[in-house]
Amino acid sequence: MKKTVIFGMLLLISAAAFSQTVYQWRGEERKGIYNEKNLLKEWPENGPKQVLEIENIGNGYGAPVITDKEIFITGEIEEQAWLFAFSLKGDLIWKTAIGKEWVKTFPGSRSTPTVVDDLIYVTTGMGDITCLNRETGEKVWHVETMKTLHGQPLMHGHSESPLIFKDMVYLVPGGRDTNVVAFDRLNGKIKWICEGFGERPGYNSPNLIELPERNLLVTFSAYHLMGIDANTGELVWSQEQTNIPKEKRKHGAGDTHSNTVYYEDGSIYYFAGDGNCANRLAITPDGEKIQTVWTNSGVDNYMGGVVKIGDYFYTCTTSGKDLRSVNAETGADSDTLKLGSGTIIYADGLLYYYSQKGRMNLIKPDNGKLQLISEFKIDFGTKEHFSHPVIADGILYLRRGPVMKAWDIKE
């Protein structure tokens, strides 16, 4: 009896040790689904009530991360990358320079920070990764992966929101022999390196798949989807993106796979608009093997994210310039709304779709059917309408370039 009690306590302690409060890119499990209730079922003509405006956060496309008490967001100012911490009312708490930022094509910050308990992890478009103290913004550790891990440069800058699992934080520097790396998240020391295919990074923010026998880190390099053992760095399986033949592969052609992979009930779904487009893969329970179940080559979503509600995925397409629902079982197209390409999240029964035409749309998904309910214009900020919206505690947040706004969407 005593041994059972002790064992039980040990289990609880170890669970607690790895029990983390994580705020990250696209929310829980990176699925773009926000666990909110009692949100507006339609919006007034000019949109919901604006409750926040923060300016001068620098150029960039990275979405904010909202915790229970802060807003964290990255931005580029005069070629410097900054991580800003604001209160929920928009008061600056601190800001910390985190390295040189990407200022070439699509200049500005890309990363959404990941907050785990009292630490924050963030990357720059130059491939730096920094861990900071959440309270003070002080750097805890910092790695310039292009220099120290000879990461390969990308055409549009490194674009990855760090993934945390237990005591590790992962990054894809894309070095020929240091392709995917796990750092000790407390001190920045390397825990493992996976050589992968030695390819450039694929602009992807990885996801973690927890299986009974194995935990897998799933991410893209330029031309391969990779399933990597999250604990050891072993490359377990891969799937080549075959739309561009090897002899024609160049920067910017077939290497941009920004959408985080989705996992549910033994199936991996990926939406690689610059690769094999939309795919469902069956994965064996031991995580060792994958097999393609369906491919939908008309769903070329490059970076808008997807959400799965019930039996359908909701995704944009680039060539169709629409929001589309896709049957998760069969991969067949179901319904479309001609709203242009965009980014998508979901909360309290409704889809929030920020189109590249600069409109925020509220859409009702109903078993694959799409109905536009409300919309309003996004006319603040500068440059492209690329960033992903975020919802936290009944507030809708959106960043466009150097400005972030928020609206009250509670009923």
- Give least dist CB 276 to another protein, A: 16
Q: From residue 282, how far is each of 115, 143, 274, 285, 300 by CA, in Å? A: 31, 36, 21, 9, 20
Stretch that binds another protein, among 142-150, 222-230, 251-259, 368-376 (CB under 8 A): 251-259
- Give least dist CB 246 to another protein, A: 15
Residue from 3, 89, 246, 250 in contact with another protein (CB under 8 A): 250
Residue from 22, 67, 100, 107 in contact with another protein (CB under 8 A): 107
- Give least dist CB 304 to another protein, A: 10
Q: How many residues bind another protein (CB under 8 A)?
A: 19
317 interacts with another protein by CB under 8 A: no
Stretch that binds another protein, among 37-45, 91-99, 250-258, 342-350 (CB under 8 A): 250-258
Cβ distance to another protein smaller for residue 106 or 220: 106
C-alpha angle with apex 403: 398 to 407, nearest 5 degrees?
A: 40
Instruction: Write the burial class of residue 117 (CB in 10 Å: 0-12 exposed, 13-18 middle, 19+ buried).
Output: exposed
What per-residue string of b and e applies to 211-231 under the rule 16 or more CB within 10 Å gives b? eeebbbbbbbbbbbbbbbbbb
Residue from 82, 102, 106, 263 in contact with another protein (CB under 8 A): 106
203 interacts with another protein by CB under 8 A: no
Q: Are strands 119-123 and 70-77 parallel, antiparallel or unpaired?
A: unpaired
- Give least dist CB 161 to another protein, A: 19
Cβ distance to another protein smaller for residue 23 or 106: 106
Cβ distance to another protein smaller for residue 304 or 368: 304
Residue pair 356/386 in contact (Cβ under 8 Å)? The answer is: yes
155 interacts with another protein by CB under 8 A: yes
Residue whose structure tokens are 């169709």: 320
Residue whose structure tokens are 């999240």: 345
CA distance 62 to 65: 9
Distance of alpha carbon 155 from the chain centroid:
19
C-beta atoms surrounding 253 within 10 Å: 13
- Give least dist CB 293 to another protein, A: 27
Stretch that binds another protein, among 78-86, 94-102, 119-127, 246-254 (CB under 8 A): 246-254
- Give least dist CB 245 to another protein, A: 11
207 interacts with another protein by CB under 8 A: no
Strands, DSSP E only, in 101-175? 114-116, 119-123, 128-133, 139-144, 163-165, 168-171
According to DSSP, the residues that pair with 335 across neighbouring strands are: 325
Stretch that binds another protein, among 13-21, 92-100, 130-138, 245-253 (CB under 8 A): 245-253
Cβ distance to another protein smaller for residue 178 or 259: 259
What is the length of the chain?
A: 411
Q: Which residues bind another protein (CB under 8 A)?
A: 104-107, 155-156, 250-253, 256, 273, 302-303, 318-319, 341, 383-384
